[in-house]
Amino acid sequence: MDLLFLGKVLWRKLWILISVPVIAAFTAYLFTMDMPDTYIAKAQLATGFTINDQVQLTEEKFNSREADVKFSNLISSMNSGLSVNLTSYRLLLHDLDPANVPFHRPEVEGFNPTPEEVKRVREVVSDKLKRFSPLTSTDPEFELISRFFIAYRYNYNDIKDHLVIDRIPNTDFIDVFMSADEPRLAAAAPNAFLEEFIRYNESLKLERTSESVEFLHELTVKKKDELDKVLQKQKAFKSDNNVFNLEGESGMKMGQLSVYETQAQNIRSNINRLELQIRRLKADISQLNAPSTSNSNQRILELRTQINEMNARYITGGSNNQRLLDSLDYLREELRIAQDNSQRQGAALSDGFTVADLKNQLADKEIELKVQQDDLNMIEARIRSINYSFSGYANKEAELAAIQKEVDLASEAYNSALSKYNEARNRQLISNNLRLVLMATPPVYPEPGFRLVIIALAAFTSLLFCVMAIVGIELLDAAVRTPEKFKRMVNLPLAGVINRIDSRNFNIRTYFNQQNGIEETETFKSLLRKFRHEIESMNGKVILFTSPKKKDGKTFVMFCLSYVLSLLDKRVLILDTNFKNNSLSQILGRGQSDLKVLDTKKHKLLVSAQGTEKKVEPEFEHENSYDLINPTKYKNIYIVGNSGGGSESPAEILSGRDFTNLVSLLADSFDYVLMEGAALNDYSDTKELVRYADKVVAVFSAETSIRQLDREAIQYFKSLGKKFGGCVLNRVDTKDLKL
């Protein structure tokens, strides 16, 4: 079904689409006339999930996903039954307090509580409000409190149905709306709801965080005890081994050892140099006989004396005086230069040196060598002493390092527990970030458009239901209805369309003789004339009318076609070969008591070979047959009837008779011979009569649907080929012709 067809159907039923919404809107208007005014107030809650302006002891980064989860959890908690119960408690206590102006007054018949009952309800409700206890059916006072809730209209559904909780997108705020019939109640309800929810949420968080803080406090104390034990162990070890700074002392010893090793290396170099010089002097003495003196010997001796004294002071002071060490290095360098100069002078004046001079030099060198050897022995002794002390330090450092590792682990565990404890304390101090940032105030004016919304919604809903109903009916309707739909479903050529008319007291002469201006009548006449033109265009005089189902209108179509053909002075003979239902014989042969029929034994079809003559009417004088033709009250329309109700088929009834010859003779005498066959789905009459016809026309009713048997009949029509003259779609609604 295409959209254009649906649009035309909806347009044709426009009166329904207009009248039903108007009636619905008017009905909604009547029902809402006594509707009380509705007031809406809003309160706002800040959650702190996205923005937190409180002091934070720990740095926490914002996580949008975590914030969305928190918002979902919070809104779910706010929609819980306990939150609504706490609000009901607050409102009921307000109205039961004599000092307050109640929002509602009891409107339930027979509700007349005693002062004792009122006092009891106030006590129980106050206790439940304080303990965050919901009202359950197991409570001893359930029936009594429920009566008060119903009477004052503070029941669970009375609050829940008028309460709306909504988060403002991309913000930190949640709006709570309350609609009520009294402005003070509209403001008091959301305020009470948020205040009680904040109080309840704070109690839950405090309870959970208190358990966590207590556990972390115990854990911190335990880790502190473990750390104290390890520190006491470290202190005892240092005290027992008289070691308090092994690392510093060991570092100092390593520095001294490095200095001593450097000095020892320098002294060894000097010793090697002196030994070489002594060997050279001994060689010179052996060559010289006269001793000589050198001017620089006195300076060399002074330098050596200063070096020995300063070296003794450096070693005695602990070998850690850098300034003394620098002075010592300077004197040694000066001594080396003086000795070099003396050697150069000796080399230059060696020819003038005496043996005594060389012996003096040799004695000096030997003394210097002895000094250097003594210094080397002393330094090596210090080095051995330091190396020996290191063996004791290594064991102590290993034990102290193990103890220090225990101290570090215990300290780390204690600091971690302390950090978690402080964080938990911080969360306990700021456990509830929920704040009521906007208090609801009583609205001045009621909501103006609520009633109009109901009326508009009623009209729109009824219109939508009407459209859905019409479209649904059209989709479920399997009837042919329109010529376009017939062509799609049947795929057979369409010879004509006949619209549906009122067949009661039908008089075809009146239809064609009067111009009444009725659309249905004029359309009927126009469609019949179009169908007549199609019949005249067919190359055939003997036309068989049939249909797949009974009561599709074959008789009516044949009768109307005969009449419009007679208006053109066409002689039409109707052969009523529908032996199962002789409607044509009954209609056209009405008033004829001696109606001649085709299926009686006394009327035989005689041929001219019998030599029998019978006087016939002038127009039939050329035929040699019994006079089976019956005139009708309509000019140029004749009928050959049948008695009807027979159980035999046409082949059985016409067996042994020359029906082919009769049809041929009648066709020569008339312009058109119209035959009617029984319903093809039920009988084989049509298939037996096809051989006598030039063309076959199938009549379909637009009020029926195409089923499997009809498809078999359609397939048979297609098998007739050129002999099939087309279909006639009968009983089409005049309005459907415009779709």
Over the chain (739 residues), the average pLDDT of each successive run of 10 is: 71 86 90 79 86 52 72 85 88 90 82 88 90 85 88 88 87 88 89 89 70 68 78 72 55 75 86 83 67 59 82 76 76 78 56 68 85 87 74 62 78 79 60 77 78 86 90 79 88 92 81 78 91 92 94 92 94 91 84 72 38 39 58 91 80 78 88 93 92 95 90 94 94 81
The answer to whether position 400 is within a domain reads: yes
pLDDT for the residue numbered 342: 66
From residue 161, give the alpha-carbon distance in Å to each of 76, 133, 187, 264, 482. 16, 21, 16, 101, 51
User: How far from each other are the two terminal CA atoms of the chain, in whole angstroms?
Assistant: 12
Residue 294 lies in a domain: yes
Same domain (yes/no): 417, 384: yes
Could you give the number of structural domains in the chain? 4
Does a structural domain hold residue 234?
A: no
599 belongs to a structural domain: yes
User: Is 237 domain-assigned?
Assistant: no
pLDDT at position 8 is 75
606 and 714 in a single domain? The answer is yes
DSSP string over 301-346 = HHHHHHHHHHHHHHHHTTS--HHHHHHHHHHHHHHHHHHHHHHHHH
Helix (H, G, I), strand (E, B) or coil at 149: helix
152 shares a domain with 5:
no
CATH number reported for the structural domain that contains residue 625 in this entry:
3.40.50.300
CB burial class (10 A; 0-12, 13-18, 19+) of residue 602?
exposed
Whether 71 and 2 map to the same domain: the answer is: no
The CATH number of residue 372's host domain is 1.10.287
The predicted pLDDT at position 255 comes to 75
Distance CA 264, CA 281 (A): 25
Domain identity same for 362 and 457: no
The confidence score (pLDDT) of residue 623 equals 39
Residues 6+ apart with CB under 8 A from 190: 41, 42, 43, 163, 176, 177, 178, 440
pLDDT at 316: 75
Identity of residue 220: T
Please give the Cα distance from 124 to 89 (Å, whole number).
Answer: 10
Cβ 496 vs Cβ 558: under 8 Å: no
Torsion, Cα of 320, 324, 328, 331 (10° steps): 170
Range of the domain at 79: 30-213+433-438
In a domain, 229, yes or no: no
Place of tokens 């509602």: 104
Residues 127 and 207 in one domain: yes
Same domain, 360 and 498: no
At residue 603, the pLDDT reads 42
The CA distance from 288 to 350, in Å, is 9
Residues of 701-710 as b/e, b for ≥16 C-beta within 10 angstroms? bbbbebeeeb
Residue 303 lies in a domain: yes
Same domain, residue pair 396 and 308: yes
Whether 588 and 681 map to the same domain: the answer is yes
pLDDT at 81: 82
> Do 606 and 504 have their domain in common?
yes
Quick check: helix, strand or coil at residue 230? helix
* Amino acid found at 121: V
Whether the full predicted model's pTM is greater than 0.85, yes or no, is no
In a domain, 287, yes or no: yes
Q: Could you tell me if 207 and 272 lie in one domain? A: no
Same domain, 488 and 469: no
